[in-house]
Amino acid sequence: MAVADSHDTHDDHHDLYDHGEFIAHHFDSAEQQFDSGKLGIWLFLVTEVLFFSGLFVAYTLYRTNHPEVFEQAHVFLNKYLGGLNTIVLLFSSLTMALGVRAAQLGRNKNCSVYILMTMVCATMFLGVKAVEYSHKWDMGILVRSAFNLTYTHPTPTTEIGKSLHISDYLVYLCIVPALLLAGFLAASVISKLINKTMLAKFMVAMAITVSGYFLGVVVGVVFMSATDAETGSSHASVIAEQPLMLMASTQDEHDEGDHDEGDHDKAAADPNHEGDHADHEEHFGAHPADGGEASFDAHHPDPSTLSRDIGIFFSIYYCMTGLHAIHIIGGIIALAWLYWRSLLGHWRTDYFGPVDYVGLYWHLVDLIWIYLFPLLYLID
Amino acid sequence: MVDSSTRQKLFGTPETNFLNCSKGWKSWAFTLDHKRIGIMYLIGVTVALFLAGVFALVLRSHLFTFDSTMLSDDMYNQMFTLHGAVMVFSFIIPSIPAALGNIVLPMMLGAKDVAFPRMNLASFYLWIIGTGCLLLAILSGKGLDTGWTFYTPYSIDTNTGVIYATFGAFILGFSSIFTGLNFLVTVNTMRSKDQGWFKLPLFVWSLYATAIIQVLATPVLGITLLMLIAEKTLHIGIFDPKYGGDPVLFQHFFWFYSHPAVYIMILPAMGVISELISVYSQKRIFGYSFIAFSSVAIALLGFLVWGHHMFTSGQSLVVTLIFSAITFTVAIPSAVKVFNWLATLYKGSILLNTPMCYALSFIFLFGIGGLTGLFLGALSTDIHLHDTYFVVAHFHFVMVGGTLTALLGGVFHWWPKIWGRMYNDFLGRVGCFLVFSGFNLTFFPQFVMGSRGMPRRYASYDPEFQIFHQLSTVGAFVLGIGILLSFVVLVYAALRGPRCSSNPFRAASLEWQSSSPPDFHNFLQTPVLTDPYDFESQVYDEELDTYIPREFANPDKVAPRKEPVHH
């Protein structure tokens, strides 16, 4: 009865702090804390799904309105690289799940190894992504307003680019990871020198993590050249089947540089171009059953419009994959924190919540990619 | 039986409490205590209220004459935009949940804190950063002239500080998500032992319904604003018609958040009113479960009506009809609440103190605001009233007449609990009278001129509307004075008011079982779980001059429980 024991609870105030190393003062028990965290992370995942939902809706809308654009645009995505990344992420989910299991059993050492493997997979994913991005930037496949498809690969101008035959953009994308790698290696040496072995171990793990990025880049470049014949032929077939697109691209080269003004001028001169939006609505409303080709011809007499509309596909592509990559980076930071706590041996059979929560987050990030891959790469 | 020294310790004036248990600015800036975070939020939203209020007064002054040259047209556009953006994102949305809710919610559950105290503090700092970004639009000298809705394509073309403002709103969205997520988890996992869902105060139910919206709707605003920023910087062509984008898509995304956001603003207010009406009638709330479920119903229906903001944006007729029909259904749970409040008042022993005056104002003003919403939900009348002052008056009746009034009522109600000091009730009621009359004077004429065709967001107008604008401007200043007076009364009470007891109003929800001000851990003993609307559970204690739970009272001096009278 509350009345009866009110004296005791009052006198033993410190009892509030006395229930376990990692249980926050406002929770009554480890169980309550775990349940709260679990519900919290699930709700957070709900917000994440809804955060991506805007982009999925935009995707659905534009794909419904312009199926022809999506059919023609996706061939520029290398599905082998996409598939490779899917396998990498699926494997990372496996190691993550093993890490959670190890934490649940209180095996901190195993847990740290699994988390490190997950982090390496994550950075490897980013490395492959960097190869893909740089390849597209080379070809002028950018967001809608800057879209300027050329098919030709510019020769690299940087020294590293020239010697390794890789894109300048890829070199730029490797600068930050290279600096991070150097920084972590230096930090591990310094912490070794000042006898902070735990910290040194952590820094080495971080260096290994960042190396995963370069592994991804190397594998990506190899894959890219191995599948080049295939993707090259698919580019060629697009050009053969869609002469309009070739025209579009050559026309684009002409008015390169002043897209904005060019657009204004065209909008003024060509009534078809004015208010693309109205045009699109008409598409959707008046000819819902029309396949790609027919409506394409009827409504896009100006070939440059199609080429630019492919740009909308890539706007959506960059938004979705970019936001996903940001989530991967966020995940790596969370995983690094888990790795540190595993080194400190924090996980016990009655306390492993953080690993569980980050694990759920990681599976969601994986799951989003599982949706993105077919939606963007496997359109046929 | 509990002896008198224990009673004194539990319910008397405590020596240490959450306000004085630690000192120095760091003890506030890094506090994880929900009460301190709530107070910081309260200060923050007050600053936002005054800032946006000044914008409103500048606007109203400009509109005093039809040919006013006080503001340039551009400045006028910036003023109404900043007024709207700061009021919506920085003031109303966090006002009741993050400030009052933060202080009261965990105590109503008998908990020591919210589930995630660090996230709670992060929410407050995100609020500061987000509001700072909004204000950066002014400080950068660029201003903001899109209206608070950031409609494309104008927001893409304008050179004003749209990026600062949208980024600010994005951050404020996360602040709101953190609060909502925290409350959902807290209510689910931190309730007292045996405190079932139907033993929760209705304020908790309304905060829970609000939190559902915060968690489900706000991320969509986040991605929309990010896409708008990408559109403005990279021209991705998703919203910009110049690049084949769809500007109406932006409107859909925006209102998918911003209509539910309207319920983020009003639902907590309804929860406050449920508490006030019941406590100051000393009568069990009428139709508890109906009020509780109507909150949830409003939260869910709120997701299905966003299209009623776009009746004139070129939606298909079928869609428009469906949105109109669902909009009407929202009136049902809203009316359920109003009827239940009125039924609670019936034959209650009503105490007309400051919080109750605000509660009664709320019912009146919300009634008008809600009913005029039906005019706007009906298709034929909306075509005429769309984008007129009628709309402005309608949502101010709900947002100010509803939320602000409830916030003030709630603040007066819980003020003695927070500070352990009592306010001057007479001056409080004078403030309430000024707020009520000033508010009506401001916005009632706007219904009239709106229905006669006065469009909103215009810097100048036809001379025939001048008298309405002048009434409105005078009213705005009266309203401003009323709020200022209430502010002074509250601040004076917090600093110099007479000490008050732990439960001066004979309220039965758990937060009143703590001392005033509460202890850092909220309760010195596990609170006795009582029905929050069973006022007979609280009995008067002479020694302490306060109401305490029956279980703690001296049985010799306790009046026997009154049997409920059935009329």
Q: What is the pLDDT of residue A243?
A: 41
Q: Please list every residue in chain A whose beta carbon sits closer than 8 Å to the beta carbon of residue B258.
A: none
Is B455 in a helix, a strand, or coil?
A: strand
User: How close A219 gets to chain B, by Cα (Å)?
Assistant: 30
Q: Between these two residues, B444 and A312, which has the higher pLDDT value?
A: B444
Q: Tens digit of pLDDT for each residue in B2-23?
A: 788 888 888 888 888 999 999 9
DSSP state, A75?
Answer: G
Q: What is the mean pLDDT of residues B86-112?
A: 96
User: How close B342 gets to chain A, by Cα (Å)?
Assistant: 36
Test B249 with A58 for CB contact under 8 angstroms: yes
- List alpha helices for B386-518, DSSP H: 389-398, 405-419, 425-451, 466-496
A309 touching B (Cβ < 8 Å): yes
The set of residues, in sequence order, having a beta carbon less than 8 Å from that of B513 and lying 6+ positions away, is: B11, B502, B503, B523, B527, B528, B548, B549
Q: What is the pLDDT of residue A163?
A: 78
Q: Tell me the pLDDT of chain B averaged across its residues.
A: 94
Q: What is the pLDDT of residue A235?
A: 56
Test A39 with B184 for CB contact under 8 angstroms: yes
Q: Tens digit of pLDDT for each residue in A20-62?
A: 678 888 898 888 999 999 999 999 999 999 999 999 999 999 9
Q: What is the pLDDT of residue A161?
A: 77
Instruction: Evaluate if residue B172 carries a pLDDT over 50.
Output: yes
DSSP state, B87?
Answer: I
Q: Tens digit of pLDDT for each residue in B108-143?
A: 999 999 999 999 999 999 999 999 999 998 888 888
Name the nearest CA neighbour of B192 among B536, B506, B513. B513
> What confidence category does residue A9 fall into, taking pLDDT thresholds of 50, 70 and 90?
very low
Number of neighbouring beta carbons within 10 Å of residue A369? 23
pTM, 2 dp: 0.89
Interaxial angle between packed helices A353-377 and A303-343, expressed in degrees from 0 to 180 and rounded to the nearest 10: 160
A16 touching B (Cβ < 8 Å): yes
Supply the CATH number for residue B311's domain.
1.20.210.10
B559 touching A (Cβ < 8 Å): no
Inter-chain contacts counted by CB atoms under 8 A, chains A and B: 156
Q: What is the pLDDT of residue A336?
A: 97
Interaxial angle between packed helices A303-343 and B202-234, expressed in degrees from 0 to 180 and rounded to the nearest 10: 130
Classify burial at B153, counting beta carbons within 10 Å of its beta carbon; exposed 0-12, middle 13-18, buried 19 or more. middle
Q: What is the pLDDT of residue B156?
A: 92
In a domain, B292, yes or no: yes
- The shortest CB-CB distance from A276 to any of B181, B226, B244 is to B244
A30 touching B (Cβ < 8 Å): no
Percentage of chain B surpassing pLDDT 90? 86
In a domain, B499, yes or no: yes
Q: Please list every residue in chain A whose beta carbon sits closer than 8 Å to the beta carbon of residue B6.
A: 6-7
Test B116 with A40 for CB contact under 8 angstroms: yes
* Cα–Cα distance measured from residue A125 to residue A218, given in angstroms and rounded to the nearest whole number: 12
Q: Tell me the pLDDT of chain A averaged across its residues.
A: 79
Which residue's structure tokens are 């005093």?
Answer: B64
In a domain, B567, yes or no: no
Q: Between these two residues, B130 and A247, which has the higher pLDDT value?
A: B130
Determine which of A9, A145, A260, A317 to mutate to test the interface with B (most B C-beta atoms within 10 Å): A145
Q: What is the mean pLDDT of residues A245-261?
A: 41
Distances (CA, A) of B256 to B81, B240, B250, B309: 20, 19, 10, 10
B498 touching A (Cβ < 8 Å): no
Q: Tens digit of pLDDT for each residue in B496-516?
A: 999 999 999 999 999 999 999
Q: Between these two residues, B65 and A16, which has the higher pLDDT value?
A: B65
* Cα–Cα distance measured from residue A169 to residue A147, given in angstroms and rounded to the nearest whole number: 16
Amino acid at B510: L
* Cα–Cα distance measured from residue B42 to residue B103, given in angstroms and rounded to the nearest whole number: 10
User: Minimum mean pLDDT among A225-234, B91-100, B487-496, B511-520: which range?
Assistant: A225-234
Q: What is the pLDDT of residue B78?
A: 92
Q: What is the pLDDT of residue A264?
A: 42
User: How close A315 gets to chain B, by Cα (Å)?
Assistant: 5
Q: What is the pLDDT of residue A304?
A: 56
Domain count, chain B: 1
Question: Which domain does B258 fall in, by range?
Answer: 4-15+32-552
From the candidate CATH numbers 1.10.10.10, 3.40.1360.10, 3.40.50.1370, 1.20.120.80, the one assigned to the domain spanning A27-260+290-377: 1.20.120.80
Q: What is the mean pLDDT of residues B33-38?
A: 96
Please report the residues numbered 231 through 260 in chain B whose beta carbons come closer than 8 angstroms to any beta carbon of chain A. Answer: 234-238, 241-249, 253
* Cα–Cα distance measured from residue B506 to residue B228, given in angstroms and rounded to the nearest whole number: 51
Test B181 with A40 for CB contact under 8 angstroms: yes
Q: What is the pLDDT of residue B331?
A: 93
> What confidence category does residue A240 fall into, taking pLDDT thresholds of 50, 70 and 90?
very low
Residue of B nearest to A306 (CA): B244
Distances (CA, A) of B284 to A303, B201, B288, B406, B513: 72, 11, 9, 20, 18
* Cα–Cα distance measured from residue B188 to residue B207, given in angstroms and rounded to the nearest whole number: 12
Q: What is the pLDDT of residue A20?
A: 67
A175 touching B (Cβ < 8 Å): no
Q: Please list every residue in chain B whose beta carbon sits closer than 8 Å to the beta carbon of residue A48.
A: 219
Q: What is the pLDDT of residue B192?
A: 92
- The shortest CB-CB distance from B220 to any of A2, A54, A305 is to A54
In a domain, B565, yes or no: no
User: Minimum mean pLDDT among A149-163, B174-188, B266-280, B443-457: which range?
Assistant: A149-163
User: Minimum mean pLDDT among A100-109, A218-227, A269-278, B393-402: which range?
Assistant: A269-278
Q: What is the pLDDT of residue B92?
A: 96
Instruction: Evaluate if residue A236 carries a pLDDT over 70.
Output: no
Q: Is the dihedral of CA B236, B241, B243, B246 positive or negative?
A: positive
Q: Tens digit of pLDDT for each residue in A271-316?
A: 444 344 444 433 333 333 333 333 334 344 455 556 667 888 999 9
CB A246 within 8 A of CB A239: yes
Name the nearest CA neighbour of B20 among B419, B423, B413, B513. B419
Instruction: Evaluate if residue B227 carries a pLDDT over 50.
Output: yes
CB B214 within 8 A of CB B302: no
DSSP state, A66?
Answer: -
* Cα–Cα distance measured from residue B417 to residue A290, given in angstroms and rounded to the nearest whole number: 67
Test A51 with B227 for CB contact under 8 angstroms: no
Q: What is the mean pLDDT of residues A312-329?
A: 94
Half-sphere exposure of residue B51, counting CA atoms within 13 Å on the CB side?
22
Q: What is the mean pLDDT of residues B88-103?
A: 96
The token pair that represents B421 in the structure block: 């000091």
Q: Tens digit of pLDDT for each residue in B345-395?
A: 999 999 999 999 999 999 999 999 999 999 999 999 999 999 999 999 999
Query: Per residue, what are the HEC states of A150-171?
Result: CCCCCCCCCHHHHHHCCCHHHH
> What confidence category does residue A257 fall into, taking pLDDT thresholds of 50, 70 and 90?
very low
A268 touching B (Cβ < 8 Å): no
DSSP state, B551?
Answer: G
Test B525 with A10 for CB contact under 8 angstroms: yes
Instruction: Evaluate if residue A248 carries a pLDDT over 90.
Output: no
Q: What is the mean pLDDT of residues B187-192?
A: 95
Q: Which of A364-368, B134-138, B240-244 is the most confident on average? A: A364-368
B117 touching A (Cβ < 8 Å): yes
DSSP state, A15?
Answer: G
Q: What is the pLDDT of residue B525?
A: 87
- The shortest CB-CB distance from A9 to any of B1, B184, B525 is to B525
User: How close B16 gets to chain A, by Cα (Å)?
Assistant: 13
CB B64 within 8 A of CB B469: yes
Please report the residues numbered 225 through 264 in chain A whose beta carbons come closer than 8 angstroms to any beta carbon of chain B. Answer: 263-264
Percentage of chain B surpassing pLDDT 70? 99
